[in-house]
Protein backbone atom coordinates (compact mmCIF):
# COMPACT_ATOMS: atom_id res chain seq x y z
CA UNK A 1 0.00 0.00 0.00
CA UNK A 2 1.52 3.34 -1.03
CA UNK A 3 0.63 6.34 1.12
CA UNK A 4 0.18 9.77 -0.46
CA UNK A 5 2.52 12.50 0.78
CA UNK A 6 1.28 15.74 -0.78
CA UNK A 7 3.57 16.85 -3.63
CA UNK A 8 5.50 13.58 -3.35
CA UNK A 9 2.70 11.97 -5.33
CA UNK A 10 3.31 14.42 -8.19
CA UNK A 11 7.11 14.35 -8.32
CA UNK A 12 9.54 11.44 -8.21
CA UNK A 13 11.48 11.09 -4.96
CA UNK A 14 14.77 11.71 -6.79
CA UNK A 15 13.61 15.26 -7.58
CA UNK A 16 12.52 15.91 -4.03
CA UNK A 17 15.73 14.93 -2.30
CA UNK A 18 18.39 17.60 -2.71
CA UNK A 19 21.63 15.71 -3.38
CA UNK A 20 24.83 17.05 -4.85
CA UNK A 21 26.13 15.95 -8.21
CA UNK A 22 29.64 16.47 -6.82
CA UNK A 23 28.96 13.92 -4.09
CA UNK A 24 28.41 11.34 -6.85
CA UNK A 25 25.88 9.42 -4.80
CA UNK A 26 25.14 6.17 -6.54
CA UNK A 27 21.68 5.57 -5.08
CA UNK A 28 19.74 5.61 -1.85
CA UNK A 29 18.87 2.22 -0.40
CA UNK A 30 15.61 0.84 -1.77
CA UNK A 31 13.01 -1.71 -0.77
CA UNK A 32 14.95 -4.24 -2.86
CA UNK A 33 17.80 -3.90 -0.34
CA UNK A 34 15.47 -5.41 2.32
CA UNK A 35 16.34 -2.68 4.80
CA UNK A 36 13.11 -0.87 3.94
CA UNK A 37 9.69 -2.49 4.11
CA UNK A 38 6.08 -1.40 4.50
CA UNK A 39 4.89 -0.53 8.01
CA UNK A 40 1.33 0.81 7.56
CA UNK A 41 0.39 3.37 10.21
CA UNK A 42 3.89 3.50 11.76
CA UNK A 43 5.91 6.74 11.71
CA UNK A 44 2.86 8.72 10.59
CA UNK A 45 1.36 11.81 12.19
CA UNK A 46 -1.70 12.50 10.07
CA UNK A 47 -1.66 16.29 10.52
CA UNK A 48 2.06 16.41 9.65
CA UNK A 49 2.70 13.79 6.99
CA UNK A 50 0.04 15.19 4.69
CA UNK A 51 2.10 18.42 4.48
CA UNK A 52 5.47 16.81 3.67
CA UNK A 53 6.97 17.23 0.22
CA UNK A 54 9.61 14.58 0.75
CA UNK A 55 10.16 11.25 2.42
CA UNK A 56 12.95 9.83 4.54
CA UNK A 57 15.89 8.39 2.60
CA UNK A 58 18.21 5.67 3.91
CA UNK A 59 21.89 5.67 2.91
CA UNK A 60 24.84 3.49 3.82
CA UNK A 61 27.83 5.77 4.39
CA UNK A 62 30.37 3.04 3.57
CA UNK A 63 28.81 2.73 0.10
CA UNK A 64 29.29 6.43 -0.72
CA UNK A 65 32.22 7.25 -3.01
CA UNK A 66 35.50 7.97 -1.21
CA UNK A 67 37.00 11.24 -2.44
CA UNK A 68 40.71 11.89 -2.00
CA UNK A 69 41.03 15.53 -0.92
CA UNK A 70 44.80 15.40 -0.26
CA UNK A 71 47.30 12.55 -0.02
CA UNK A 72 46.43 12.29 3.72
CA UNK A 73 42.74 13.19 3.75
CA UNK A 74 39.69 11.45 2.23
CA UNK A 75 35.98 12.07 2.68
CA UNK A 76 32.64 10.42 2.08
CA UNK A 77 29.59 12.64 2.24
CA UNK A 78 26.02 13.26 1.21
CA UNK A 79 23.59 16.14 1.36
CA UNK A 80 20.10 16.18 2.80
CA UNK A 81 17.58 18.86 1.99
CA UNK A 82 19.14 21.22 4.52
CA UNK A 83 22.32 19.61 5.83
CA UNK A 84 25.58 17.91 4.88
CA UNK A 85 27.02 14.83 6.61
CA UNK A 86 30.67 13.81 6.09
CA UNK A 87 33.13 11.20 7.28
CA UNK A 88 36.77 12.24 7.06
CA UNK A 89 39.59 9.69 7.17
CA UNK A 90 42.77 11.54 8.12
CA UNK A 91 46.29 10.19 8.28
CA UNK A 92 48.69 11.53 10.90
CA UNK A 93 49.96 14.89 9.64
CA UNK A 94 46.83 15.74 7.62
CA UNK A 95 45.71 19.36 7.85
CA UNK A 96 42.56 21.29 7.06
CA UNK A 97 43.84 24.86 6.71
CA UNK A 98 42.30 27.92 8.34
CA UNK A 99 38.90 28.58 6.81
CA UNK A 100 35.36 29.63 7.62
CA UNK A 101 31.95 28.97 6.12
CA UNK A 102 28.36 30.14 6.63
CA UNK A 103 27.44 26.74 8.10
CA UNK A 104 27.26 25.66 11.71
CA UNK A 105 29.59 22.65 12.04
CA UNK A 106 29.38 19.89 14.60
CA UNK A 107 32.56 17.77 14.65
CA UNK A 108 32.74 14.39 16.39
CA UNK A 109 36.15 12.75 16.53
CA UNK A 110 35.50 9.00 16.51
CA UNK A 111 39.11 7.86 16.47
CA UNK A 112 42.54 9.45 16.84
CA UNK A 113 43.60 12.92 17.92
CA UNK A 114 43.58 16.39 16.41
CA UNK A 115 44.74 19.85 17.38
CA UNK A 116 42.19 22.50 16.45
CA UNK A 117 42.91 26.23 16.34
CA UNK A 118 40.08 28.74 16.51
CA UNK A 119 39.76 32.31 17.78
CA UNK A 120 43.31 32.39 19.18
CA UNK A 121 42.81 29.17 21.16
CA UNK A 122 44.27 25.68 20.83
CA UNK A 123 41.93 22.73 21.41
CA UNK A 124 43.25 19.20 21.83
CA UNK A 125 40.58 16.80 20.56
CA UNK A 126 40.66 13.08 21.35
CA UNK A 127 38.38 10.21 20.32
CA UNK A 128 34.86 10.83 21.62
CA UNK A 129 35.15 14.63 21.76
CA UNK A 130 32.56 16.82 20.03
CA UNK A 131 33.21 20.42 19.02
CA UNK A 132 30.69 22.95 17.68
CA UNK A 133 31.70 25.82 15.39
CA UNK A 134 29.05 28.51 14.90
CA UNK A 135 28.66 29.87 11.37
CA UNK A 136 31.58 32.00 10.10
CA UNK A 137 33.94 31.12 12.98
CA UNK A 138 37.48 30.56 11.57
CA UNK A 139 39.05 27.20 12.43
CA UNK A 140 41.73 24.76 11.30
CA UNK A 141 42.55 21.10 12.03
CA UNK A 142 45.92 19.38 12.43
CA UNK A 143 45.56 15.61 12.83
CA UNK A 144 48.24 14.32 15.21
CA UNK A 145 47.21 10.66 14.81
CA UNK A 146 45.32 8.70 12.18
CA UNK A 147 41.71 9.78 12.75
CA UNK A 148 38.10 9.32 11.77
CA UNK A 149 36.14 12.56 12.02
CA UNK A 150 32.38 12.93 11.51
CA UNK A 151 31.07 16.39 10.61
CA UNK A 152 27.51 17.63 10.34
CA UNK A 153 26.84 20.98 8.63
CA UNK A 154 23.70 23.12 8.61
CA UNK A 155 22.73 24.46 6.15
CA UNK A 156 24.08 22.11 3.48
CA UNK A 157 27.58 22.96 2.18
CA UNK A 158 26.68 24.94 -0.92
CA UNK A 159 30.40 25.41 -1.68
CA UNK A 160 30.71 21.60 -1.95
CA UNK A 161 27.53 21.34 -4.02
CA UNK A 162 28.68 23.93 -6.57
CA UNK A 163 32.38 22.99 -6.39
CA UNK A 164 33.66 26.37 -5.17
CA UNK A 165 35.32 25.17 -1.93
CA UNK A 166 39.06 25.65 -2.42
CA UNK A 167 40.52 25.87 1.08
CA UNK A 168 41.85 22.28 1.21
CA UNK A 169 44.79 21.57 -1.06
Query: Which tens digit of pLDDT belongs to each residue from 50-71?
Result: 655 677 888 888 888 999 999 9
Q: Please indicate whether residue 161 or residue 138 has the higher confidence score (pLDDT).
A: 138
Q: CB-side exposure of 47: number of CA atoms within 13 Å? A: 0
Q: Judge whether residue 158 has pLDDT over 70.
A: yes
Instruction: Name the residue among 8, 1, 149 with its Cα closest to residue 75.
Output: 149
Residues contacting residue 12 through CB under 8 Å, at least 6 positions apart: none
**What pLDDT does residue 49 have?**
60
User: Among residues of the chain, what percentage have pLDDT more than 90?
Assistant: 53
* Helix (H/G/I), strand (E/B), else coil: 72: coil
Q: Which of 54-58, 99-103, 118-122, 130-134 has the lowest mean pLDDT?
A: 54-58
**What pLDDT does residue 19 have?**
37
Going by the DSSP 8-state scheme, the letter that residue 43 receives in this structure is T
Distance of CA 103 to the CA centre of its chain: 12
pTM strictly above 0.85 = no
Amino acid sequence: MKRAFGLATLLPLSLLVSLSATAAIEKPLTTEDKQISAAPGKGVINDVNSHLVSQAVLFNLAEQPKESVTDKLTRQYFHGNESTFVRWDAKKGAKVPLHKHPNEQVTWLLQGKATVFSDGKKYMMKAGDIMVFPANVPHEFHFTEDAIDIDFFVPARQDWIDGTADYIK
